[in-house]
Structure 1
């Protein structure tokens, strides 16, 4: 070894004092980097070698730490350590719960094909996915738990000896005989440890022993054929090769200070101290590049700062979700790295290097915009010629409602209020052709993306006499429900079509005409322009004198509410509703409804806020396909990012209303998310949104009833007893729905998931139920109990095959 190399190695940090191997960053095959984001503790994954966008693994779960180890899958511990989830690195959306128990796990260590963690309460190391290659558990006091390919090692706390398990455990352990070790790291086929007596690094496994008496490190990490540490006093990274005839030393990110390092395969990543971004480099390229991830939690939050072997990260409490928690520094030196920055959004792209290049790009952008504009203009002309868009016909179609009211002073206020004071109505006069053209083209493009949506036939205009005849003069036996502005009747048109007819109230119980007119105009406007398989089908309308009626497709199986909360004497034990007896159908109905709401939020331009999401507004057709109904309270949401919410008086149904909306009068699309979260809890528990637990008792909300049990891991206590006990896959699906619901009903809208994320979770849940129906997967627990043995919903053999 050259004198220069020896000198550099001697500059490395002294012996590590911390024994924790837990990290908020993980590296997996792909190569993929996953990290716990600061603020919301959501895990995001992204490619470590290109600029692809980060993907949120599970917005409904808050994680404390993650581990990957270079294998094909990543695992994470939920905040609190009482639940463990894993997912394939190539498919972050395929989340699976591995453990759910009363004891708190720590020291998560994922190897090439197994998962290990330490249960400090029971003082045992536990394994999952190891099969008969690893013991179920090993008792004892351990620290610095690490995993590699087919082995797991840890340091015994009382003797500082290394213990290893698994097929390669003996071969790795032999390299540490009669040596006291303070910290371990593992990767590939070898483990490396820092000797307690002199801080030297000793590596074992994968061939000949490689003693490193001259090397002093902190933040030690090991890959397949390399190791890295951090230099004092500036905490920059130095890496070196392992197992070869000679040692090669290199500095992949010269001058950059890191909080900690992680490694897997031939990849190493470091968390930058100044901005908590992630830099990664491989043993081939040796050039560090930034991974496209949001700012990362700079360490695992702990509840007791006395447990920190070194100092506490300054002002670390602001990063932790639990009040009072702190983050321990990994360094015990007296010269800390640069102070971390205050949490902020990711940095904007760098400016162009020269004004000349900027001018050139500007002209290119101008040319592109001009070409696109010309093409759009040509398409507009063709569209006008083909569809007669430029005419002034009073036709209600699925693209643009042209509802110029005969009573303008009375009718247009509802929609106009949705876009703020002084803004024109989105449905304006026929002369507003430019705005209509923009919305027309937006509709065409969004329907191309939305999949189930398509253009529909123009709405029919009925006479009052026709609809009266269809309902036998609105007979009581034809009445089937109530809507936002009137009563709903079942009817039959002369051509044989069964329809549902909503009639605005009249007579002594009628609202003021203005209110009825506003609700009618709102629902007619939205139904005329929207068409989706999970929105109620609109047939036509009647506007005659003071009568206002809307005609829909008839939904044979009624409202979800009636199946969850049947009236006494209806749906007796001899013929229970399929909804009551099938978890798969319940979750499928939720998925259908979520797709309909997601269409309103994501594909309508501007987005539409329903404002009255509840189980009685989710209707079921003859095939048990769910559709969202009743747009009488719906409003246009903010059309720009600058306007975050609408400010207006709250309206909706008690028990389903967003606390931010009725408390602060802040209306956003997340207000619908809250209402849908309540519906999800209804489906899980069978309880009404507001109910009494006992005769004469105080009213209780289903949110207050269910959420504490779900968060405590006691979902089985609140599940609807009318439904059969879920089997293994169904239990996992039900739990996924429950976790999603808990996040939907968070007090602040910014903490709730988007409908698109809810759809993704429910799709996963339905797939799990279908796996159960076909007998796929096998294995795992058969219930939702709390013991660490029976409650572990193990990754099934089918799922494991996708992770190998």
Structure 2
């Protein structure tokens, strides 16, 4: 054991401590290097996350949080009311869609949420009893006593008891507890397999594994400590009175300490894995570095300004006074406590906007002297300057596109108001001025454009659709439908009317017929385009979640397409008060609804990621998701589909086409079509399934139309999903409730106004698979709703 004497200016030293799993306003997920923080300012203290040299992204639900704690593959956030907490799986270093799981929602307030390798623990606020949610079965459910300074590491959790001695629980508890023996402690913090803390005599001590020198506390002159942070095999502390960071361990020359960000003053520090991050005094931004006593590279994260400390109810909770200006960051009478030994922030403090970009740290405030500045930091500054210039150009372009070209965009769609029976309507977010046609879809005005001819010709070069589909005589299809009798009519598609038919061999099929009307030239051309598009695409697409293609008829003015018959019709009719009693019962099951969504998502995922070249459907909606006799969902109607861009991440510059209410706002505004446009439409379908509301609907007794996006998203973001769920179904509970929450958060991401903020369909499929598996687990009764299964967390 190495001991370092401390010069104390107070009789009782309280140091903030941050390690693998201690509560703070910044958390690091060690396996992926993800860094998350609670934003300062704004109505909600919401969470954003990022990774080194990557843009920041938001985390749902968009609620206010009190504190965060990071574990190996996940992190958790304690809500502002401290009567519940969510956890997010963040082990994938490339994902920006973090799946949330509500772990606790009870009447007892919690404090000091702490995460380890696979366990969660917290104090019950009024009793100081410790409560555990664990994954490996070696932790008790609760521990009675008067504890403080709760912390967790790999396979153990520790706290200081009323006798000032360290007590630990879990598989590695005995080793750590024995190492501290009879040493009275003031505070402790755990790393991966070592623990450091302040004794009640004012010494800094470290115990546990020393494989990389992480216990070798520097033998320098005495200094004061206001914060401690431990990673996998390194240790760091805030040196006072200047608030700079001193670290040791991490391999290499294990006996040598180092100052990774000399010249920068921090409020607090946090560590996880080989990463350490500090919250700067100057502007509440986050700087990070990797553990190394040879050469350290400092990186500024893209997070906005972060809350400088955990909000407590009032000043009586603060032993050493209130952090200057903290009232502006906390609701009502809440405040942030000042560390008993802490650097002084630069006054005055104001409540920053959570959406404000993080200012780049200046050399004078946050960087080491110029002679020690790394080449990587210079490169970062250069790239940042170029990015700023590019961003300015992009903003000017968007203004020109959305404002100067507004008339052109609106004219290309030619929206006009028609009668009252409107089932679909564009969300208010798309445009506040548009009016709505009483039509099923918005046609393009150039149906036989060079773009379409090019797409078809490229497709014909690869294969002839006649080799893959049967060509029917018009007489055969007329006979199959009793001369297209109204009794056989079952709906309408993007280019014609759909009839049920029975072929000579007894097969039941669906036949889509373009109604010939050469006098309406534009409509005729649009339907001809839709026919050719469907014929070209369907002849080469074969997937169990795409409606099967049987054949076609191209005879004179007649254009007909023949599909497999989908006995149970469209998802739309089952959601919106159509069909018989048996159908209603079948779809009045949350599990069945999620299964239908999963089927459809797999079909769209096939179009985007497995079809060569990829295909953008352009008209994803609940009326184009059909159900066969076994209730298997399949995507239909490819009349508006286009081949996707050849370059990954690219877009097609095409005029707008799609269905009002499902139309991607970004595509509508900029005429930039991507696969994310289909993701938006499917997000609307998901919200329909959750709420039972049409894409555009009118509240009973109200005159204004409302989009399901505007109706549902604010409630989901506020953690009030129950208020918008379809009342015709029983409220989901336990794991079923967690599954529905996962679907809701995924849908919210899908309808993000910006395509880059939406998940890929592959991610949507994965989340829906996880949601369905939670229903199956619930039916097997494998787990109570008040515990956390980290197996299911990993699946999320």
TM class, shorter-length: 0.5 to 0.7
* Equivalent position of 1:535 in the other structure: 546
1:35 and 2:60 equivalent?
Answer: no
Counterpart secondary structure, 2:468 = coil
1: CA distance between counterparts of 2:752 and 2:79?
16
Q: What's 1:187 paired with?
A: 191
Q: Residue 222 of structure 1 corresponds to which residue in structure 2?
A: 230
Partner in structure 1 of residue 417 of structure 2: none
470, 473, 482: which one pairs with 1:463? 473
Q: Is 1:45–1:57's contact at 8 Å kept on the other side of the alignment?
A: no
Give the corresponding residue for 1:75.
75
**What is the TM-score of this pair, normalised by structure 1?**
0.67
- Displacement of 1:344 in angstroms is 8.1
Question: In 2, are the aligned partners of 1:659 and 1:747 still within 8 Å (CA)?
Answer: yes
Deviations 1:544-593 (A, max 9, x none): 222211111111221111211233xx413xx3435423222211111111
Q: Does 1:472 align with 2:501?
A: no
| 555-564 or 742-751: bigger deviation | 742-751
- Residues 75 and 87 in structure 1, CA contact (< 8 A), matched pair in contact too: yes
The answer for the alignment partner of 1:795 in structure 2 is 788
Aligned positions of 1:220-299 closer than 5 A: 220-222=228-230, 227-229=235-237, 235=244, 237-240=246-249, 248-251=255-258, 262-263=270-271, 267=274, 269-270=276-277, 279-281=289-291
Match of 2:784 in 1: 779
Please give the alpha-carbon distance, in whole angstroms, between the structure 2 residues aligned to 1:413 and 1:186: 65
In the alignment, which residue of structure 2 is the partner of 1:516? 527
**Change over 3 Å in CA distance of 1:767–1:506 after alignment to 2:** same
CA deviation after TM superposition for structure 1 residue 796, in Å = 3.6
* Cα gap change, 1:529 to 1:116, in 2 (>3 Å): same
**Pick aligned residue for 2:564 from 530, 535, 553:** 553
Listed as ranges, the matches of 1:166-177 within 5 Å are 166=169, 177=184
Selected match of 1:426 from 455, 462, 473: 455
**Once superposed, what is the RMSD of the aligned Cα atoms?**
5.6
- 1:571 and 2:580 correspond: yes
Task: Give the match for residue 492 of structure 1.
Answer: 502
**Contact map agreement 2:218 2:256 (CA 8 A) in 1:** no
The equivalent of 1:26 in structure 2 is: 28
Aligned to 2:634: 627
Judge conservation of contact 1:736–1:765 (CA < 8 Å) in 2.
yes
Cα distance between partner residues in 1 of 2:105 and 2:278: 30
Distance in 1 between residues matched to 2:758 and 2:771, nearest whole Å: 19
Is the counterpart of residue 84 in structure 1 residue 86 in structure 2?
Answer: yes
Alpha-carbon distance in structure 1 between the residues aligned to 2:572 and 2:752: 23
> Aligned to 1:425, what secondary structure does the other structure show?
helix
**Aligned residues of 1:16 and 1:217 also touching (Cα < 8 A):** no
Query: Structure 2 length as normaliser, TM-score?
Result: 0.67
1:482 maps to 492
3-state SS of paired residue (1:512) = helix
Which residue of 2 is the match for residue 743 of structure 1?
Answer: 749
* Alpha-carbon contact 1:143-1:154 (below 8 Å) kept: yes
After TM superposition, give the deviation of residue 798 of structure 1 in Å. 6.4
2:455 partner SS: coil
Contact 1:740 1:761 in 2 (8 A): yes
Indicate the SS of the match to 1:414: coil
Distance 1:456 1:61 in 2: 51
Change over 3 Å in CA distance of 1:564–1:138 after alignment to 2: farther
> Which residue of 1 is the match for residue 425 of structure 2?
none
Distance in 2, Cα, partners of 1:251 & 1:234:
15
Change (3 A) 1:318 1:539: farther
- Structure 1 counterpart of 2:407: none
CA distance in 2, matches of 1:23, 1:700: 37
Q: Deviations over 1:667-722 (max 9, x none)?
A: 33222222111111111122222223315643332222222222222222222233
Once residues 659 and 268 of structure 1 are traced to their aligned partners in structure 2, the CA distance between those partners, rounded to angstroms, is: 39
2:681 pairs with one of 669, 675, 682? 675
State the distance in 2 between where 1:79 and 1:727 align.
20
Matched-pair contact (CA < 8 Å) for 2:38–2:307: no
Alignment check: 8 A CA contact 2:29 2:73 kept: no
Q: Distance in 1 between matches of 2:301 and 2:754?
A: 21
Change (3 A) 1:79 1:481: farther
The corresponding residue for 1:128 is: 133
Q: 1:247 to 1:641 in 2, by over 3 A?
A: closer
Q: Which runs of 5+ in 2 are unaligned?
A: 8-12, 40-45, 310-327, 385-443
Name stretches of at least 5 consecutive residues in structure 1 with no aligned partner: 47-52, 349-410, 444-454, 781-791
1:630 Cα offset (Å):
0.9
1:202, distance to aligned residue in structure 2 (A): 3.9
Aligned residue for 1:614?
Answer: 621
Partner of 2:722: 716
The 8 Å contact of residues 500 and 551 in structure 1, kept in 2 or not, is answered as yes
* Alpha-carbon distance, 1:247 to partner: 9.0
Q: 1:678 to 1:317 in 2, by over 3 A?
A: farther
C-alpha separation in 1, matches of 2:381 and 2:497: 49
For 1:787, the equivalent position in structure 2 comes to none
Given the superposition, is the C-alpha separation of residues 501 and 338 from structure 1 closer, same or farther in structure 2, using an over 3 Å criterion?
farther
Task: Assess, with a 3 A threshold, how the Cα gap between structure 1 residues 486 and 88 changes in structure 2: closer, same or farther.
Answer: closer
CA distance in 2 between partners of 1:521 and 1:743 (Å): 34
CA distance in 2, matches of 1:706, 1:606: 35
1:368 corresponds to? none
**Pair 19,228 (structure 1): closer, same or farther in 2 beyond 3 Å:** closer
Matched-pair contact (CA < 8 Å) for 2:621–2:662: yes
Q: Which residue is 2:696 aligned to?
A: 690
Structure 2 Cα separation of the partners of residues 665 and 713 of structure 1: 33
Q: 1:109 aligns with which of 95, 109, 114?
A: 114
Structure 2 CA distance for partners of 1:746 and 1:469, relative to 1, 3 Å: same
Structure 1 residue 597 corresponds to structure 2 residue 604: yes
Alignment partner, residue 307 of structure 1: 336
Q: 1:219 to 1:705 in 2, by over 3 A?
A: same
Q: Deviations over 1:631-651 (max 9, x none)?
A: 122233433358545252x33
User: Offset of 1:250 from its aligned partner?
Assistant: 4.1
Are residues 500 and 593 of structure 1, via their aligned partners in 2, closer, same or farther at CA, if it must alter by over 3 Å? same
Q: Does 1:639 align with 2:642?
A: no
1:113-163 per-residue CA deviation (whole Å, 9 max, x = no partner) reads 4213468899997543388955659899x986532453343799xxx9788
User: Contact conserved, 2:304 with 2:355, CA < 8 A, in 1?
Assistant: no
The Cα of 1:727 is off from its aligned counterpart by 4.4
Q: Which residue matches 2:316?
A: none
CA 1:134–1:565: 2 relative to 1, 3 Å: same
Deviation (angstroms), 1:224 = 7.2
Query: What SS does the aligned partner of 2:447 have?
Result: helix
| 1:426 counterpart SS class | helix
| Contact 1:60/1:740 (8 A) holds in 2 | no
Deviations, residues 63-87 of structure 1 (Å, cap 9, x unaligned): 9876445xx6532328868641154
Match of 2:204 in 1: 201
Instruction: Say whether the 8 Å CA contact 2:56–2:303 is kept in structure 1.
Output: no
Query: Do 1:593 and 1:627's aligned partners in 2 also have CA atoms closer than 8 Å?
Result: yes
Q: Residue 61 of structure 2 contacts residue 719 of structure 2 at CA under 8 Å; is this kept in 1? A: no
Map 1:357-376; keep pairs closer than 5 Å.
none
Assess, with a 3 A threshold, how the Cα gap between structure 1 residues 487 and 57 changes in structure 2: closer, same or farther. Answer: same
Residues 383-427 of structure 1 deviation map (CA, whole Å, 9 limit, x = unaligned) = xxxxxxxxxxxxxxxxxxxxxxxxxxxx995374658xxxx7122
C-alpha change, 1:134 and 1:531, in structure 2 (3 Å) is: same
CA distance, structure 1, for counterparts of residue 352 and residue 86 of structure 2: 21
